[in-house]
C-alpha cells in the first residue's frame, strides 16, 4: 500500500466520507499569502476530505414548527440550534479529528504537515472577516483535489452529495499521488439557479473564477441575508437531493 493510500484510509477511518489529493501546482493564482507553500514552505501536496450533510437537518425551518411547547418568538433560535449542532459543529469537529489523525500518520513517516482548521465555526471569526475568507480555502482545494466542482452559488458540489458537504484540508511536504480534476459539471447552472432565485439578497453579479485549470461562472456571495436561516442555498439545491 502506498503512503497516499494509507493517508486516505486513515482519513476515512476517522470519519471522512471523501478524500482527494492535489499537488500544490494546481493552486497557481491563489491570493498572496494563501497558497499552500505560503502556509507550509516546501509543501508538495494537499489532502482534502469531506463529510456529508443531511438534508433532513438542513430542513431546520420546519422543525417543531407546530410545537405546542416552544414559544413562537424563540422557535427560530431552537431551529438554528438544531441545524448548527447537527450539520455544522459536529461535522466540523469530526473533520478536524480526521484531518489531525491523517496528519499524524504523515508526520510519523517523516513529512512536515499543517492540518488546517475548518472554516468557520459558530461564534468564531466569520462575522468579522470580510467575505468570510479564510487562511486557506477548502472549497477551492476540493476542486483541485478532484472531489468537487464549483456551483453558481459559490459552493463546492461533489458527485456523491451535491452541495451537502463540508470540507477540510491538510498541507504536507509529502509528494502524494494526485487525483484527477473532475471534468463534469455538478451544478446545473443558470438552467436551475434555484439557490439564487430563493435567496436573491445573498448574491450579486456573475463573474468567472479559474481553479486548477477549470473556469466556473459564479454569482458573487454577499453574505447570508433575507432570512435563509443558514444553509438555505444548500437546502433548495436539487442536485443529489435524494441523499438524506
> Which residues, 6 or more positions from 226, have their beta carbon under 8 angstroms from its beta carbon?
199, 200, 201, 202
Q: In this structure, is residue 224 part of a structural domain?
A: yes
Q: In this structure, is residue 240 part of a structural domain?
A: no
Q: Are 188 and 153 in contact (CB under 8 A)?
A: no
Q: In this structure, is residue 211 part of a structural domain?
A: yes
Provide the domain count of the chain. Answer: 1
Per-residue pLDDT in tens (0 to 9) along the chain, 244 residues: 999 999 999 999 999 999 999 999 999 999 999 999 999 999 999 999 999 999 988 888 888 889 999 999 999 899 889 888 888 899 999 999 999 999 999 999 999 999 999 986 555 555 555 656 788 999 999 999 999 999 999 999 999 999 999 999 999 999 999 999 999 999 999 999 999 898 888 899 999 999 999 999 999 988 777 666 668 888 889 998 764 4
Q: What is the pLDDT of residue 243?
A: 46
Dihedrals φ, ψ of 11, to 5°? -60, -45
C-alpha cell at 110: 517523516
C-alpha cell at 169: 484540508
Q: What is the pLDDT of residue 168?
A: 97
Instruction: Give this prediction's pTM.
Output: 0.92
Tracing cell 417543531 back to the chain, one arrives at 64
Instruction: Return the sign of the alpha-carbon dihedral for residues 63, 65, 71, 72.
Output: positive
Q: In this structure, is residue 241 part of a structural domain?
A: no
Q: Residue 127's closest CA among 209, 237, 230, 235?
A: 230
For 143, the domain range is: 3-235
Amino acid at each position: 500500500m502506498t503512503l497516499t493510500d494509507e493517508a486516505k484510509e486513515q482519513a476515512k477511518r476517522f470519519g471522512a466520507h471523501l478524500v482527494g489529493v492535489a499537488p500544490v501546482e494546481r493552486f497557481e493564482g491563489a491570493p498572496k499569502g494563501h497558497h499552500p507553500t505560503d502556509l507550509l514552505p516546501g509543501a508538495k501536496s494537499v489532502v482534502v476530505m469531506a463529510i456529508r450533510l443531511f438534508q433532513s437537518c438542513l430542513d431546520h425551518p420546519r422543525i417543531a414548527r407546530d410545537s405546542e411547547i416552544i414559544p413562537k418568538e424563540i422557535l427560530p433560535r431552537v431551529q438554528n440550534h438544531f441545524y448548527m449542532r447537527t450539520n455544522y459543529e459536529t461535522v466540523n469537529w469530526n473533520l478536524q479529528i480526521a484531518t489531525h489523525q491523517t496528519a499524524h500518520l504523515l508526520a510519523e513517516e517523516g513529512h512536515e504537515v499543517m492540518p488546517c482548521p475548518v472554516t468557520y465555526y459558530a461564534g468564531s471569526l466569520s462575522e468579522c472577516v470580510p467575505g468570510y475568507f479564510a487562511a486557506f480555502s477548502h472549497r477551492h482545494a476540493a476542486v483541485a483535489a478532484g472531489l468537487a466542482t464549483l456551483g453558481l452559488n459559490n459552493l463546492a458540489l461533489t458527485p456523491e452529495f451535491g452541495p451537502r458537504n463540508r470540507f477540510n484540508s491538510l498541507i504536507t511536504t509529502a509528494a502524494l499521488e494526485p487525483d484527477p480534476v473532475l471534468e463534469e459539471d455538478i451544478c446545473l447552472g443558470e438552467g436551475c439557479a434555484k439557490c439564487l432565485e430563493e435567496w436573491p439578497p445573498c448574491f450579486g453579479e456573475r463573474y468567472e473564477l479559474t481553479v486548477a485549470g477549470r473556469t466556473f461562472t459564479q454569482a458573487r456571495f454577499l453574505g447570508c441575508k433575507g432570512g435563509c436561516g443558514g444553509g438555505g442555498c444548500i437546502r433548495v439545491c436539487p442536485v443529489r437531493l435524494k441523499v438524506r
